[in-house]
Chains A and B, each alone.
Chain A
């Protein structure tokens, strides 16, 4: 069984790298007796996410699968009871990964107007300093991007987005903001996001959006769904 992290470990002199399986093999591991985690090999690429979506679509039709929980290039399959034959279940998951084609995306395009900078985008100067680009260019790059919703997770309605331009990657903060407002438009490492609840947050705030991401009065309650395309629009820029 694959037992090493794929490409998420920095090259090092430890024995870990020596155990890397072939790059085409996903990693499969148990989370307790009722969940299995399938992690796609390789980099954070949309094509891998599309294969994960295909596997998710299939496994929810299996008997005893209670939930298929999408992550970022991974899938947690939750069973209603522990699989009687764990090895056979693992093999079936691996088979699905190898057999299924990338899912054809038919997501909607969702435009999100953003107030960039100012008090609610207070980390914009830090992103600017880190990237060496002026704030206006950060905003231009952020707006020009086409983002794909990989998964909804963590908090109600939060979308994990693929598509952030590497020029504005920005490491997460070592000391989180204690009270970041719901709706804050953020950059966390290589990911773009829109926070969905007010509270502590380690991502970098560059703006704010009024668009509600989660509304229990609606079905489904989450605005975003996997496969949707997000475009950020400049509503205004605050100093």
Chain B
């Protein structure tokens, strides 16, 4: 059980997402960085989908109202438990009365606070994720506020505290490098597959799509990232009928500045789609900061499928190590 001591808007309870309700028009919600989120749960021995807190505005502080194992993963937030500094990507035991503070990250955009057992909020349409726009799911359908008290699902069971200071893992940014090792620039490479309307863009526009360093503008949020850098105009106007969306789809509205639809995107839309970010790179996008730059790299379907293998292997390794450490 924890109490929120200080928070800014837009920090919410999330799980992996509300899948299977898109045909009611209900968007998936869910964490923006599923890798960090799942690792946080794995460290605690939780189911991968146990609900946690996605923190994207800082500082964020909670007080533990009971002895609890917890993890902090994702963005590097210089977390402290009372006075003790915690490494990033770390799981530890908090004693009742201790305060955990997450500070504005030096790198990354979103941190995940997961608690042993997972956060106990009602399951709505199969998920505990907050659907902010429709004001349901998560904690009372809203962002967390000072004074909120969140319970965990196994608060009745006995705590098995970490034997030493806890357990940490190497962040995926080190073990799963993005493919820009040959360059020194700060532009995040994001792998994409072409989408349905790619061929409607002229060769010049296609070239611009691949070569532009796209800035993630400040009109970006969990719903989608609005990019700036070039106007991708179509030779002939296209009016499409509304079709289903998934996270990662890159649409080009009439202004020509692309939008990458993400966790809180509507379930359907009608803008031409030029490409889709591959699943294996969505977590990187979830950690990309406003004002930073990304560049798109084309991959084949086979390469896009294969790209999930190292991500899955990374999580499997952590699962194995954690189980081993726990059994010692």
Evaluate contact between B241 and A153: CB separation under 8 angstroms.
Answer: no
Distance from A165 Cβ to chain B, minimum over Cβ atoms (Å): 19
Evaluate contact between B248 and A39: CB separation under 8 angstroms.
Answer: no
* Residue numbers in A under 8 Å from B268 (CB-CB): 69, 71, 151, 153-154, 160
For residues 1 through 35 of chain A, which have their beta carbon under 8 Å from a beta carbon of chain B?
Answer: 3-5, 8-10, 12, 14, 16-17, 19, 27, 29-35
Evaluate contact between A30 and B276: CB separation under 8 angstroms.
Answer: yes
Inter-chain contact total with CB atoms closer than 8 Å:
160
For residues 244 through 273 of chain B, which have their beta carbon under 8 Å from a beta carbon of chain A?
Answer: 244-246, 248-249, 266-269, 273
Query: Which of B133, B200, B244, B266 sits near A37, CB closer than 8 Å?
Result: B244
**A interface residue count range (under 10 / 10 to 19 / 20 to 34 / 35 or more):** 35 or more
* Residue numbers in B under 8 Å from A31 (CB-CB): 195-196, 244-246, 249, 273, 276
Evaluate contact between B242 and A154: CB separation under 8 angstroms.
Answer: yes
Interface hit among B22-30, B55-63, B283-291: B22-30
Roughly how many angstroms separate A216 CA and B25 CA in the complex, as a whole number?
13
Distance from A209 Cβ to chain B, minimum over Cβ atoms (Å): 17
Roughly how many angstroms separate A214 CA and B124 CA in the complex, as a whole number?
14
Interface hit among B5-13, B91-99, B231-239: B231-239
Roughly how many angstroms separate A220 CA and B125 CA in the complex, as a whole number?
10
* Residue numbers in B under 8 Å from A222 (CB-CB): 24-25
Given contacts A72-B241, A82-B305, contact A154 B25 (CB under 8 A): yes
Evaluate contact between B196 and A155: CB separation under 8 angstroms.
Answer: no
* Residue numbers in A under 8 Å from B238 (CB-CB): 5, 8-9
When each residue 125-165 of chain A gets 1 if its CB lies under 8 Å from chain B and 0 otherwise, what string results? Answer: 00000000000000000000000000111111110100000
Evaluate contact between B24 and A32: CB separation under 8 angstroms.
Answer: no
Evaluate contact between B236 and A12: CB separation under 8 angstroms.
Answer: yes
Check A78 for interface membership: any CB of B closer than 8 A: yes
Check B169 for interface membership: any CB of A closer than 8 A: no
For residues 162 through 201 of chain B, which have their beta carbon under 8 Å from a beta carbon of chain A?
Answer: 193-197, 199-200
Evaluate contact between B244 and A69: CB separation under 8 angstroms.
Answer: yes
Evaluate contact between B236 and A152: CB separation under 8 angstroms.
Answer: no
Evaluate contact between A153 and B25: CB separation under 8 angstroms.
Answer: yes
* Residue numbers in A under 8 Å from B301 (CB-CB): 30, 33, 82, 86
Given contacts A3-B199, A31-B273, A155-B266, contact A69 B22 (CB under 8 A): yes
Task: Give me 9 A-to-B residue pairs in the complex whose CB atoms sit less than 8 angstroms apart, sorted by A's number.
Answer: A5-B240, A9-B236, A30-B301, A32-B279, A69-B22, A69-B268, A153-B268, A157-B25, A222-B24
For the complex of A and B, 10 pairs with smallest distance between CB atoms: A76-B244, A29-B196, A69-B244, A153-B268, A72-B241, A71-B243, A32-B276, A12-B236, A222-B24, A82-B305
